[in-house]
Amino acid sequence: MIKTYALRFWNGLASMQVTIVSMILLMALVVLCTLAQTDLGTFGAVKVYMRSFLVWRYFPGLAFPLPIFPGGALVGLVLVFNLSLAGIRRLEANWSKCGLWLAHGGLILLVAGEFSTGAFQVETNMSIENGQTVNWLESPRDFELTVTDVTNPALPQAYGVPESLLAKGKDVPLPGTPLTIRVKKFYPNATLTRLGPGDPPPLATQGVGTGVKVAEAPLAATETEVNMVTAIVEPMAGGHSYGTWLASNGIGAPQSFIHEGHTYTLGVHNRRYYLPYSITLKKFSHDVYPGTQIPKNFSSLVHISDPTRGEERDVLISMNQPLRYDGRAFYQASFGKGDQLSILQVVKNPGWLIPYISCTLITLGLLIHFGITLRRSMKKRHETQQVTA
C-alpha cells in the first residue's frame, strides 16, 4: 500500500501537469508582484510575493494573517523537483537526448539561482563626495546603534550594535572598550513628538530624549518610507551608569558622554560594513544633451587604494559600466548636493554568474536538440526519396 502511494506521488510530482500549473502560478505571481509595487515598493513586493513560501494577508476582524496564495519560493521548489524527477523518469540516457538534458539542467539551475540570490545577495550603498575617501558601505534598510569614540576627531572609532541585538533587550558589551550598552526599550519603528504637559515622564534621563515622547508605530510598508528605529539605552562602564539616553535615526542632534577622558557619541544610523580598502571620488560627471537639461550620462572617476593587494588605480564607473571588485559590483545609482555627491549601489551576490550559465545551457541544449531532430528528419527524408527512386 505504501509503495503504491509513493509511486503515485512520484508520478504526480514528475507529471507535465505540475510543470504547467507551476508555470501559470509563476506568471500570476509576477503580475501580482508588479501590481503590488505601487503600495509595497519593489523590494517589499519581491519579498512578499517572490521570496516567500506563502503569501499572507490580514483580514478584518482577524488578529493573525492567513495564507492566500503560494509564494515564489514554494512554487520554485516544486518546479525544481518536478523538472528533476521528470528528467530522470522520461529522458533516456543516450546522446540523442543530450540537448534536452542540457536544457533541463539549465532550467533547474535558473530556478536554483533565484534561491541563491534571495539567500545570499547583499545590497548596500556607498555615498561619497568629491575628494572624499571612504572605506565603508551602508545598508539602505538595516540600522544599528552606533557608539563612536570621537576623542581623536581625525581617527574616530565606531562600534555598531545591530537591530537584532537591540531587539533582544539585553546588555551588549562593546569589544575593545570598557563600555556595555544596556538596552531598556527598542522600537523597530516609532513616532517622536515633543513631550506635552499631560504626557507620562520620559524614559530618557539624559540628552534630547528628556523632552521627547515616543510611541510605537507600524513598520514601513513601502520602499520609499523609512522606519524611525529608536532605542532607549543606558551606557555603563565599571559599574557606573551614564544615564538613560534616547537614540534614533530621527534625531539629528549630537549626544555624547565622557568616560575616563574619552568622548563617546550615541546615535542610530544605517548599518555600516567596513572594507579592507578605500575608495576616493576624484570627479563626478553629470552630462546632458547639448542645449537641454536632459541627462545623457552619469559617471564617477574613483581611485581604489588597497594595501592588502598592493593596488593603486583609477576606475571610471558609469551607468552601464559597473566596477566589479572584491566580489562586489559598484553601480552608478544616484547623485546629490549639486553634483558634488555620488551614490553607488553596491551588490554582493555570490551567484551572479548562475543566470548567465543557466541561460547558456538552455540555449545550447535547445540548439543541440533542434540540430539532432533536424538531422534525423533529413535522414529519413533522404531514405524515403531513395526508396521511391
- Looking at the chain, list the stretches that DSSP marks H as alpha helix, in order from N- to C-terminal side: 2-13, 16-45, 72-90, 98-120, 163-168, 354-388
- The answer to whether the beta carbons of residues 76 and 115 sit under 8 Å apart is yes
Task: Identify which has the larger pLDDT, 91 or 362.
Answer: 362
The answer to whether residue 109 scores a pLDDT higher than 80 is: yes
Interval 50-67 mean pLDDT: 85
Tell me which residue has cell 503560494. 70
If you count them, how many residues does the chain have?
Answer: 389
CA angle centred on 216, ends 210 and 222, rounded to 5°: 125
Confidence of residue 62 (pLDDT cuts 50, 70, 90): confident
The DSSP secondary-structure symbol of 223 reads T
pLDDT score recorded for residue 120: 82
At a CB cut-off of 8 Å and minimum separation 6, what does 90 contact?
A: 14
CA angle centred on 300, ends 296 and 304, rounded to 5°: 160
Confidence of residue 223 (pLDDT cuts 50, 70, 90): low
pTM: 0.66
Distances (CA, A) of 57 to 52, 81, 157: 13, 27, 44
Task: Identify which has the larger pLDDT, 253 or 298.
Answer: 298
> pLDDT of 268-311, one tens digit each?
988 888 899 999 999 999 888 888 878 788 899 999 999 999 99
Nearest-10 crossing angle of helices 98-120, 72-90: 160
Instruction: Give the range among 38-47, 182-191, 293-302 with minimum mean pLDDT.
Output: 38-47
* Cell of residue 322, nine digits: 559597473
Interval 365-385 mean pLDDT: 90
- Other beta carbons within 10 Å of 310: 6
